[in-house]
Structure 1
Amino acid sequence: MRQHNKTVPTGFRGDMANGFNPNDTSHLTADDLDHIARRQRLLGPAYRLFYRSPVEISRAKGVFLYDKHGNEYLDAYNNVASLGHSHPRVVHAIQDQLGTLCTHTRYMQNQLLDYAEMLIRTFGGELGRTGCAMFTCTGSEANDLALRVARFFTGKTGIIVTAEAYHGNSGAVAAISPSLGKKSTLDPYVRTVAAPDSYRLPVAEIGRRMAEDVTRQIADIERHGGGFAAFIADSAFSSDGLYVDPVDVLAPVAEVVRRAGGLFIADEVQSGFGRTGTHLWGHARHSVQPDIVTMGKPMGNGYPVAGVVLRPELVSEFGASMRYFNTFGGNSVAIAAAKAVLDTIIEEHLMQNASKIGSQILEGLNDLQKKYEFVGDVRGTGLYFGVELVKDRDLKIPDMDRALAVVNGLRDRRILISATGADAHILKIRPPLVFTSEHAGRLLEGIDQALAAV
């Protein structure tokens, strides 16, 4: 039976601005309603769909997704398939390796070592010269492992994250991910600091303020016991609202962290692998040398592979004192996929493409900011953008309702993006690295139309 109540449940929109509302279904077809009812019965309520009108995807190629009717959707959000969907080089690498061998890391395999060496060399400084790699299946696992190593090495438990951070969904990393919502329990040893809000704070003061905030939280951790182990951040501050500039924010924080005996962990799950255009790794834009780097999502372009690169002394005693093994982490097929991805990024100059096409999109978004009074701020680097919608430019009041309308308006125009930030009022635009000028033009035209409609 169709429901006509369009009231959004308390806390629903704050959790996900582009999420499907089960109390707003009067516009859906009978087939859609049957599918949704079956999905909820079989998967339970925790599995949420995107968009007011969910999209049923049947296949994908390049930067496009296709529904069962053959309708084409421009994917301007999916960071997993960062080389584009069904990239032939990755597909062939997976197929060939799967037909040859798929086994774990406890056998000698040159491909595993060759990729580890290649990956480590992409980092500068000490990590690039002497770092070690450890492999997992997901970014959540990678961050979980990073926490284990940091706490073992320091003998401390306290972790500092940003106020709306998301670092994964295992028990350990969900407990350091405030963005999962107020009902998601945080570890008692976790402290939060404000994100570097370049829209509301004096830009010249952001790095100093954040370092001072971290210093205060370290003192609070020490006062309450357990000691300070690590600071972890996504250098694009993706879940906080996407703050990519200025790039002098993390260096003073790293200095404070190390002075206190803690480790600096760079979460590159969203900002790594060329996403920012100018650097392969997001932390490199800030000229920071992390102690530990975690990776995931785009590492295998859809195949589950993730990893950690860290200073060798951090893992030496950890590895000697306890066994670390991951049945599927770093398996033969995962490594083949990962190598194909990194080879493609380098050989097809996808970072340069991200910078070039990203500049076109950023310029277009800045033009839209001038056109629409409710577009308060535009932020971006490479192929990663945040567009902040506000009710009042002077007061900078977040406008979640309008963001929700724009995200769904774009979906109706068959362009897929998302939203981010504590108030879910920031449009999150994250196209594949293979976007072309034509794709950028279609995206900008669609955003213009969706903004005009609200």
Structure 2
Amino acid sequence: LIYNDANDYNILVSKTPEGRWQITGLIDFGDMVESYLLFEPAAALAYTYTRRREMIVIDHAYHGNASALIDLSPYKFKGPGGQGPGPWTHTVTMPDTYRGPYRSSDPEAAQKYAREVGELIARLEAEGKAPAGFMAEAALGCGGQVPLPPGYLQTVYPAVRKAGGVCIADEVQIGFGRLGTHFWGFEQQQVVPDIITMGKPIGNGHSLAAVATIPEIAAAFANGMEYFNTFGGNPVSCTIGLAVLEVIEEEQLQANARRLGERLQQGFRELQTKYPVIGDIRGSGLFLGVELIKDPATLEPAPELAQAVVESLKEEVILFSTEGPFNNVLKFKPPLVITQEDTDRILETLDRILKDKG
């Protein structure tokens, strides 16, 4: 009976846009699950399938804290204690349409940011190299809750595939209905990746993670070099994961994320009219960011204010955090089960704190 649950779980998670997916790794164990046993197999799938090593990532992205994944995480290797990228890591500009080189007022911003990926591939090919893959979230969490501009991945994915690389979607923070509009973040970009990584919400607190890919990539991984982990396919964890999926569907948590996310964004916009320190409001569903600034003209970041607001909210038992290159973005990623009463209290409390701090 338990092993039947494991098979059911594989079927449910595999309901992605093209219906061709299979779970190549389903693992459970401790805090390092996502790094050692999730992203490393995803990268290994790309390396094995393409027989290449070069990887393209977005600046300030975070994909794990194991040594091999730190090399693919600018958030880590460019931050305190970081030692720079590995020789096979190639970074492109974060497509931030609020303070990046191409802003929301530019209708071609997405294509201009995406063009950088094509130019990077051309430079690699001139050096006799080619990408193994491109790894990205559809909305960058550690980058400051920055959603990729519409059309970005629709331009990037074909360029990567034309060069023989694979496209990896990091759904650890944004998957499982959190964005409200779709179950998977990449669906907002109207693309289908070759590899998907899943973690965090997949077990609702139980340490569980998974990697899904298409059959041809999975087949290439079955090359005789045995891959295993002690807790792979743990039937108890599969049962827990199945229960999480059932609750998301039965309690309509994706719809809840969309409805309350819209309510929060409306409330944040109303606060923005009162407090010019709110420079930008962005995100989708219950994956939201509020960027705090000192000067609307220069967009000078306000990290001290952001940290002070987070600490004041914590005293009210409301948990935000700070993110972004300047640590000035209020990051809000609450449980999908929050209520309208919760959102109203959040907005009222934030209003009071900004009035006091401003």
Q: TM-score range by the shorter chain?
A: over 0.9
Q: Which residue of 2 aligns with 1:94?
A: none
Q: Which residue of 1 aligns with 2:63?
A: 167
8 A contact 2:72–2:89 mirrored in 1: yes
Q: What CA distance in whole angstroms lies between the structure 2 residues aligned with 1:315 and 1:380?
A: 33
Using the TM superposition, give the Cα deviation of residue 221 of structure 1 relative to its aligned residue in structure 2, in angstroms.
Answer: 3.3
Q: What CA distance in whole angstroms lies between the structure 1 residues aligned with 2:124 and 2:334?
A: 39
1:353-372 pair list within 5 angstroms: 353-372=256-275
| 1:415 partner SS | coil
1:134 aligns with 2:8: no
Give the number of equivalent residue pairs.
345
Q: Which residue of 2 aligns with 1:158?
A: 54
Q: Which residue of 1 aligns with 2:351?
A: 448
Q: Which residue of 2 aligns with 1:31?
A: none
Q: What CA distance in whole angstroms lies between the structure 2 residues aligned with 1:297 and 1:223?
A: 40
8 A contact 1:211–1:256 mirrored in 2: no
Q: 1:345 aligns with which of 221, 225, 248?
A: 248
Letter in 1 for 2:81: K
| 2:334 partner SS | coil
Q: Which residue of 2 aligns with 1:202?
A: 103
1:303-452 pair list within 5 angstroms: 303-452=206-355
Letter in 2 for 1:338: G
| 2:355 partner SS | helix
Q: Which residue of 2 aligns with 1:116?
A: 10
Q: Which residue of 2 aligns with 1:92?
A: none
| 1:321 partner SS | coil
| 1:211 partner SS | helix
Q: Which residue of 2 aligns with 1:93?
A: none
Letter in 1 for 2:262: S
1:258-337 pair list within 5 angstroms: 258-337=161-240
Using the TM superposition, give the Cα deviation of residue 232 of structure 1 relative to its aligned residue in structure 2, in angstroms.
Answer: 0.3
Q: What CA distance in whole angstroms lies between the structure 2 residues aligned with 1:130 and 1:136?
A: 17
Q: Which residue of 1 aligns with 2:81?
A: 183
8 A contact 1:191–1:221 mirrored in 2: no
Using the TM superposition, give the Cα deviation of residue 226 of structure 1 relative to its aligned residue in structure 2, in angstroms.
Answer: 4.8
Q: What CA distance in whole angstroms lies between the structure 1 residues aligned with 2:81 and 2:59?
A: 15
Using the TM superposition, give the Cα deviation of residue 373 of structure 1 relative to its aligned residue in structure 2, in angstroms.
Answer: 0.8
Larger radius of gyration: 1
Q: What CA distance in whole angstroms lies between the structure 2 residues aligned with 1:295 and 1:130?
A: 13
8 A contact 1:136–1:330 mirrored in 2: yes
Using the TM superposition, give the Cα deviation of residue 224 of structure 1 relative to its aligned residue in structure 2, in angstroms.
Answer: 4.7
Q: Which residue of 2 aligns with 1:17?
A: none
CA displacement 1:333-386 (0-9 Å, x = unmatched)? 111111011111011110011111111111001111111011100012111110
Q: Percent identity?
A: 40
RMSD (Å) for aligned C-alpha atoms: 1.6
Q: What CA distance in whole angstroms lies between the structure 2 residues aligned with 1:133 and 1:438?
A: 41
Q: What CA distance in whole angstroms lies between the structure 2 residues aligned with 1:450 and 1:222?
A: 53
Using the TM superposition, give the Cα deviation of residue 202 of structure 1 relative to its aligned residue in structure 2, in angstroms.
Answer: 3.0
CA displacement 1:92-137 (0-9 Å, x = unmatched)? xxxxxxxx97xxxxxxx3222111011101x101xx2354442133
CA displacement 1:62-100 (0-9 Å, x = unmatched)? xxxxxxxxxxxxxxxxxxxxxxxxxxxxxxxxxxxxxx9
8 A contact 2:62–2:75 mirrored in 1: yes
Q: What CA distance in whole angstroms lies between the structure 1 residues aligned with 2:313 and 2:143?
A: 22
Return the TM-score normalized by structure 2: 0.92
8 A contact 1:133–1:309 mirrored in 2: yes
8 A contact 2:261–2:285 mirrored in 1: yes
Q: Which residue of 2 aligns with 1:30?
A: none
1:239-250 pair list within 5 angstroms: 239-244=142-147, 246-250=149-153
Moved more, 204-213 or 145-154: 204-213
User: Structure 1 regions of 5+ residues with no counterpart?
Assistant: 1-99, 102-108
| 2:293 partner SS | strand
Q: What CA distance in whole angstroms lies between the structure 1 residues aligned with 2:277 and 2:59?
A: 25
Q: What CA distance in whole angstroms lies between the structure 1 residues aligned with 2:152 and 2:129?
A: 27
Letter in 1 for 2:61: A
Q: What CA distance in whole angstroms lies between the structure 1 residues aligned with 2:301 and 2:112?
A: 22
User: Structure 2 regions of 5+ residues with no counterpart?
Assistant: none
| 2:56 partner SS | strand
| 1:231 partner SS | strand
Using the TM superposition, give the Cα deviation of residue 401 of structure 1 relative to its aligned residue in structure 2, in angstroms.
Answer: 1.1
8 A contact 2:118–2:159 mirrored in 1: yes
| 1:427 partner SS | strand
Letter in 2 for 1:124: P
| 1:129 partner SS | coil
User: Per the alignment, do residues 257 and 245 of structure 1 end up closer, same or farther by CA in structure 2, a change over 3 Å counting?
Assistant: closer
Q: What CA distance in whole angstroms lies between the structure 1 residues aligned with 2:109 and 2:231?
A: 41
